């Protein structure tokens, strides 16, 4: 059984086909990357995997449970860190965790002890009673991660978790994900940052125009190059011609 299995996913937005017959199998216990250029369909795919957006065609199972048509049961096994976490920013970090736990019908005693653990590990103890509105971006990402793992999900899905984060915040989140995986969890995340995928992931899928262009281990896909070089080759990067933007040179007239 796969942690996540998607078959034939399709999603249209008006005239735009964002996802076009996408298949994905994420092995249990893996660190799985979803890479792709801007507009490739990563966020749309993730939203269908986690039960936020109904596919027009195809199916998704998480931990063997069908996500559609009713995602309620599958959502209990999932944690999601969206690219822009939806948080109630008038609440403090601790209140946000307590609220999220109650929404998940968790025991208040368990909520409190896990919240304290998470705030400590994510270096948010001193900010526990401050309003989220006053958090930095890195702190907001960390509290978003805490909310996503509070109920101890089997599968954790993150959309661009490292976007705009400094190296310290990146390190904290990476370590937390490593620990979650070591405890038996499966991590699926999207990223444009190839060196993060290269460093963390066992396998990855490269998505382009709503389809999987390539899938395999990092070593297989890199094929002896850096993953970044392999990615650019695969999705067709553009290079500047010799005389493009020649006026940018400070010595030109």
Ligand X SMILES: Nc1ncnc2c1ncn2[C@@H]1O[C@H](COP(=O)(O)OP(=O)(O)OP(=O)(O)O)[C@@H](O)[C@H]1O
Binding residues vs ligand X (CB under 6 A): 13, 16, 18, 36, 38-44
Nearer residue to ligand X within complex by CB, 48 or 156: 48
Helical axes 93-103 vs 108-121, angle rounded to 10°: 140
Cis peptide before 32 (omega within 30 of 0): no
CA–CA separation, 119 vs 128, rounded Å?
7
Residue count (the chain) = 253
Shortest spacing between CB 40 and ligand X, in angstroms:
4
Is the CB of residue 135 less than 8 Å from the CB of residue 93? Answer: yes
Nearer residue to ligand X within complex by CB, 46 or 172: 46
Shortest spacing between CB 237 and ligand X, in angstroms:
15
Nearest to 18 by CA among 230, 212, 219, 209: 209
- For residue 80, what are the β-bridge partners? 157
160 Cβ contact list (under 8 Å, min separation 6)? 83, 189, 190, 191, 192
Shortest spacing between CB 210 and ligand X, in angstroms:
7
Shortest spacing between CB 18 and ligand X, in angstroms:
3
Nearer residue to ligand X within complex by CB, 42 or 154: 42
Q: Extract the tokens encoding 174.
A: 């990476």
CA–CA separation, 209 vs 194, rounded Å?
19
Shortest spacing between CB 23 and ligand X, in angstroms:
17
Is the CB of residue 213 less than 8 Å from the CB of residue 207? Answer: yes
Nearer residue to ligand X within complex by CB, 76 or 163: 163
Shortest spacing between CB 7 and ligand X, in angstroms:
18
Is the CB of residue 159 less than 8 Å from the CB of residue 147? Answer: no
Nearer residue to ligand X within complex by CB, 44 or 92: 44
| 13: number of Cβ within 10 Å | 10
Nearer residue to ligand X within complex by CB, 4 or 18: 18
Nearer residue to ligand X within complex by CB, 9 or 187: 9
Shortest spacing between CB 50 and ligand X, in angstroms:
13
CA–CA separation, 145 vs 169, rounded Å?
12
């Amino acid at each position: 059984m796969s942690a996540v299995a998607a078959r034939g996913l399709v999603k249209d937005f008006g005239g735009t086909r964002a996802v076009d017959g996408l298949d994905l199998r994420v092995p249990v216990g893996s660190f799985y990357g979803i890479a792709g250029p801007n507009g490739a369909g990563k966020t749309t795919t993730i939203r269908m995997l986690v039960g936020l957006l109904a596919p027009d065609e195809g199916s998704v199972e998480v931990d063997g449970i069908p996500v559609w048509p009713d995602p309620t049961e599958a959502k209990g096994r999932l944690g999601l860190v969206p690219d822009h976490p939806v948080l109630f920013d008038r609440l403090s970090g601790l209140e946000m965790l307590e609220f999220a736990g109650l929404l998940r019908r968790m025991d208040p005693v368990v909520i409190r002890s896990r919240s304290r653990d998470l705030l400590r590990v994510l270096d948010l103890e001193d900010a526990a009673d401050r309003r989220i509105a006053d958090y930095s971006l890195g702190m907001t990402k960390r509290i978003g991660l805490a909310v996503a793992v509070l109920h101890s999900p089997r599968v954790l899905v993150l959309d661009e978790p490292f976007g705009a984060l400094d190296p310290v915040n990146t390190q904290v989140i990476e370590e937390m994900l490593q620990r979650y995986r070591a405890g038996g969890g499966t991590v699926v995340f999207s990223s444009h940052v190839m060196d993060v995928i290269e460093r963390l992931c066992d396998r990855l899928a490269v998505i382009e125009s709503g389809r999987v262009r390539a899938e395999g281990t990092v070593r297989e896909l890199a094929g002896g190059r850096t993953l970044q070089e392999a990615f650019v080759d695969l999705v067709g990067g553009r290079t500047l011609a010799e005389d493009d933007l020649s006026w940018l040179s400070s010595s030109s007239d």
